[in-house]
A and B are shown apart, each in its own frame.
Chain A
């Protein structure tokens, strides 16, 4: 078959010394920016764009792609060791990765993440090689209704990924949803909560929120805890996971690869959604879901596998349709245009060296990352041996400079400070910031697509369930909603029976479910959600 020969020619392109060198530079820089909080791959690629003008298009894109998937791994390192996700797609890695690090098993977490990333990336490239042409048509069937369903599913998962009380997770998620409404209405042009500030006209950017509530908030909270309580792990010993841990996470890596690959193809938020979905799936299939958030290796393996698989597969819509799937890919799209290459359906035919050169470079890049990640982790870990009083100001500085470089906006620095305070207060009162950030990302996706769908359906809501893909997604949504609700109702009834014996003054409980916030809070704290309360209490006990 003559469709094989361009694939092999592509390897010839990658093996040229210059391309190999740029691939190495790309993944190294990627890992570095992934580790540096605040400085994401999109900003880095944009800053480094001028450096690529002098080289061939294929060389330039090989390097920029390397930065992108290299950063997916780098983000893991800070997620695990510092509790600072470098990227939105590493947010869920924080939960179990950091827990493992506090148990002295940071090495295991990073080792598993490296292996998972390698497997996910490689599986995704192989699938990309064979499926790229077929996939293109499939991605197009995802219209506004399908995105609405996906976003709803994602927001639902937000509540389950949190390791605090479920009600507090929902509250945090609601704050996130509200924050997502800030900015100029994309349908009417009306200003919403912008206080006549142009800086708020486009809404609040994701980066300052994430950097604030995770980064700054965590640093402030740690400072309050003084020495011993939050001292980072002394060393990363034994990055090679044990056979038991490998066995434990093999299923997660397999599922993560598939989830990441499929969700990465969808235009918009692929890597974030997929890490989230992979984590949620693991929690669902686990025999003992309560281990999650307390250092389950699957909780690291699944999202890290999925985000690497998604980073790779998000090149599919770019290279086959000329459609950038996310912000970083959009910058790479810009780089291609500067190079005089217009990505689109005809790219594979007109410019096979570029297409296959870039695709095949990812095999090499992933091998490089796997080889380098182990020794380099040791290097990054040294950062953690500095005392908190030295590390904290440096991290704050890097965060603030990093957030400034994204949009050259001093207003964003101000936002980081505000959200840092919010994150600190949330931590202090036992609210997890994760659901807030994730709901914020998904909220704007949900609103825009739901309204778009309703315009298309002329206001007829049944349209959501009559389309095959969105119908299936909504069915999944309702199953995920109803099963725990049914379980909850059953437990609640049992608890209510018990309460009849000892009436305790909260009469609101027999009213509507969504009665008052305080009434509901009481219920959660004492009542039926037994599994949730101990966790919340542990979090509080950590305070000195």
Chain B
């Protein structure tokens, strides 16, 4: 009798793990075949996320996977392969068969900003992938503790204070945007990197640092509650969710930094397959539930074509490199 109980427990555990592992590696099968694109999709299409579960990139990928899978009439398992801001997942995708069965959500910061901080052989080039479509834009906002009394960047500059600014880490849009702003404004400041947006925001709330550049989705609830004052957004145009907050460019500083995301496939994926995928994701963009998700996350749709993504991100990379050079900004010792 004991033995039977045991078997049952084992079976439950086994089934649980089996489900888990199947969900994790489903869709990687049969990736070696040559493909002309006509028989696409052939089985599950895996969407890899280069970040941890629960982060914005992960949430976006999952919100898109459902409606896109429906359009393709195939399942689309979402797999997280976090590491090095997505570089681990991106390098892995490069080696996958170019048949459209393996996709990834990639961040513009990995392409345009991370190269400023890391060594050369770690750089990921967008040209090494086929871009299916752009997804959305996530803006950085510079927030201060209301106790500082600052309402605008000018207030901050006039205070004449040495400013400690929190960033979400080295080689991020958060670091680049604040470095550019303070260098151009001639504000003496010290860069304090944290592990992501939440700790950086906590540091502003707890007055450990004076200001921090944080993604809007993370800062918005505190801004609404009046616990953080938004000084400036770093997007090219005003953000639709923060109509009253000026952009850095309006305030006279050349700081066009936003986070963009796109869907990419391995280089050499047939055009017909890319077109079919684009169609599927277009259907996902039109899905009301996805649009609601975008609003809930304060994301601005930026559903541009693959070619536009390559052009935009490459330009951003070059202009950031030029700006960093011009203002003699140190993003990291390894560059």
Interface-side segment among A179-187, A279-287, A478-486: A179-187
Which of A261-289 touch B at CB < 8 Å?
Answer: 267-268
Chain A: minimal CB distance from B212 (Å): 13
Q: Which residues of B contact A380 (CB under 8 A)?
A: 9
Q: Are B193 and A386 in contact (CB under 8 A)?
A: no
Q: Which residues of A contact B117 (CB under 8 A)?
A: 189
Q: Which residues of A contact B220 (CB under 8 A)?
A: 342
- Say yes or no for A343: interface residue by CB 8 A criterion: yes
Task: Indicate with 1 or 0, residue by residue over B145-188, a CB within 8 angstroms of chain A CB atoms.
Answer: 00000000000000000001000011100000000000000000
Interface-side segment among A12-20, A88-96, A137-145, A508-516: A137-145
Cross-chain contact of B2 among A340, A385, A448 (Cβ < 8 A) = A385
Interface-side segment among A108-116, A121-129, A197-205, A493-501: A197-205
Interface-side segment among B16-24, B29-37, B132-140, B240-248: B16-24
Q: Are B202 and A321 in contact (CB under 8 A)?
A: yes
Chain A: minimal CB distance from B108 (Å): 18
- Measured CA separation A141–B205 after assembly (Å): 9
Which of A29-50 touch B at CB < 8 Å?
Answer: 32, 36, 39, 42-43, 46-47, 49-50
Would you mind naming 27 contact pairs between A and B with Cβ atoms under 8 Å apart? A32-B12, A49-B62, A142-B206, A143-B206, A144-B208, A184-B84, A185-B333, A186-B169, A186-B195, A188-B170, A189-B117, A189-B332, A321-B205, A327-B52, A330-B198, A334-B53, A334-B55, A334-B59, A344-B222, A344-B224, A346-B225, A380-B9, A394-B10, A398-B13, A401-B20, A408-B80, A456-B209
Given A39-B20, A267-B202, A337-B59, A188 and B195 touching (CB < 8 A)? no
Cross-chain contact of B222 among A141, A338, A345, A385 (Cβ < 8 A) = A345
Q: Which 4 A-B pairs have the closest CB atoms?
A: A189-B332, A334-B54, A344-B221, A140-B206
Chain B: minimal CB distance from A533 (Å): 41
Q: Are A340 and B292 in contact (CB under 8 A)?
A: yes
Task: Indicate with 1 or 0, residue by residue over B180-224, a CB within 8 angstroms of chain A CB atoms.
Answer: 000000000011111100110111011111000000000011101
Q: Which residues of A contact B227 (CB under 8 A)?
A: 345
Q: Are A323 and B121 in contact (CB under 8 A)?
A: no
Chain A: minimal CB distance from B191 (Å): 8
Q: Are B202 and A188 in contact (CB under 8 A)?
A: no
Q: Are B21 and A405 in contact (CB under 8 A)?
A: yes
Residue of A142, A202, A333, A448 with most chain B CB atoms under a 10 A cut-off = A202
Q: Which residues of B contact A386 (CB under 8 A)?
A: 6
- Say yes or no for B79: interface residue by CB 8 A criterion: yes
- Say yes or no for A298: interface residue by CB 8 A criterion: no
Which of A343-366 touch B at CB < 8 Å?
Answer: 343-346
Chain B: minimal CB distance from A237 (Å): 15
B residues engaging A (CB < 8 A)?
A: 2, 5-6, 9-10, 12-13, 16-17, 20-21, 23-25, 52-55, 58-59, 62-63, 79-84, 87-88, 91, 117-119, 121-122, 164, 169-171, 190-195, 198-199, 201-203, 205-209, 220-222, 224-225, 227, 292-293, 296-297, 331-335
Chain B: minimal CB distance from A430 (Å): 34
Q: Which residues of A contact B224 (CB under 8 A)?
A: 344, 346
Q: Are A199 and B88 in contact (CB under 8 A)?
A: yes
Closest to A341 in B: B296
Closest to B4 in A: A382
Q: Are A333 and B190 in contact (CB under 8 A)?
A: no
Q: Which residues of A contact B119 (CB under 8 A)?
A: 191
Q: Which residues of A contact B82 (CB under 8 A)?
A: 202, 407
Given contacts A382-B2, A456-B208, 20 further A-B contacts (CB under 8 A): A46-B53, A47-B23, A140-B202, A140-B207, A142-B206, A184-B84, A184-B170, A189-B117, A190-B333, A198-B91, A201-B87, A330-B52, A338-B59, A398-B13, A407-B82, A407-B83, A408-B24, A408-B79, A456-B164, A456-B190
- Say yes or no for A324: interface residue by CB 8 A criterion: yes
Q: Are B193 and A404 in contact (CB under 8 A)?
A: no
Q: Which residues of B contact A268 (CB under 8 A)?
A: 199
- Measured CA separation A409–B50 after assembly (Å): 12
- Say yes or no for A455: interface residue by CB 8 A criterion: yes
Task: Indicate with 1 or 0, residue by residue over A399-434, a CB within 8 angstroms of chain B CB atoms.
Answer: 001101101110000000000000000000000000
Q: Which residues of A contact B91 (CB under 8 A)?
A: 198
Q: Which residues of A contact B331 (CB under 8 A)?
A: 189
Q: Are A455 and B221 in contact (CB under 8 A)?
A: no
- Measured CA separation A401–B17 after assembly (Å): 8
Cross-chain contact of B20 among A140, A340, A405 (Cβ < 8 A) = A405
Q: Which residues of A contact B195 (CB under 8 A)?
A: 186, 448
Which of A166-193 touch B at CB < 8 Å?
Answer: 184-191
Q: Are B83 and A202 in contact (CB under 8 A)?
A: yes
A residues engaging B (CB < 8 A)?
A: 32, 36, 39, 42-43, 46-47, 49-50, 139-144, 184-191, 196, 198-199, 201-202, 267-268, 321-324, 327, 330-331, 333-335, 337-338, 340, 342-346, 379-380, 382-383, 385-386, 394, 398, 401-402, 404-405, 407-409, 448, 452, 455-456, 458
- Measured CA separation A46–B20 after assembly (Å): 10
Q: Which residues of B contact A321 (CB under 8 A)?
A: 202, 205
Cross-chain contact of A331 among B54, B121, B191 (Cβ < 8 A) = B54
- Measured CA separation A386–B10 after assembly (Å): 12
Q: Which residues of B contact A188 (CB under 8 A)?
A: 170, 332-334
Chain B: minimal CB distance from A249 (Å): 29
Q: Are A187 and B170 in contact (CB under 8 A)?
A: yes
- Measured CA separation A252–B121 after assembly (Å): 53
Given A189-B117, A190-B333, A456-B192, A342 and B81 touching (CB < 8 A)? no
- Measured CA separation A201–B171 after assembly (Å): 13
Given A334-B58, A456-B209, A47 and B20 touching (CB < 8 A)? yes
Q: Are B84 and A407 in contact (CB under 8 A)?
A: no
Cross-chain contact of A344 among B88, B171, B225 (Cβ < 8 A) = B225
- Measured CA separation A386–B52 after assembly (Å): 37
Q: Which residues of B contact A408 (CB under 8 A)?
A: 24-25, 79-81
- Measured CA separation A186–B195 after assembly (Å): 8
Chain B: minimal CB distance from A41 (Å): 12
- Measured CA separation A291–B54 after assembly (Å): 43
Q: Which residues of B contact A49 (CB under 8 A)?
A: 53, 62
- Measured CA separation A456–B24 after assembly (Å): 42
- Measured CA separation A463–B81 after assembly (Å): 40
Given A186-B170, A267-B199, A407-B82, A337 and B297 touching (CB < 8 A)? yes
Residue of B21, B53, B171 with most chain A CB atoms under a 10 A cut-off = B53
Q: Are A409 and B81 in contact (CB under 8 A)?
A: yes
Cross-chain contact of A201 among B12, B24, B88, B193 (Cβ < 8 A) = B88
Q: Are A143 and B221 in contact (CB under 8 A)?
A: no
Q: Are A342 and B221 in contact (CB under 8 A)?
A: yes
Chain B: minimal CB distance from A338 (Å): 6
Closest to A331 in B: B54
Chain A: minimal CB distance from B117 (Å): 4
Q: Are B193 and A385 in contact (CB under 8 A)?
A: no
- Measured CA separation A541–B205 after assembly (Å): 55
Q: Are A46 and B80 in contact (CB under 8 A)?
A: yes
Q: Which residues of B contact A191 (CB under 8 A)?
A: 118-119, 334
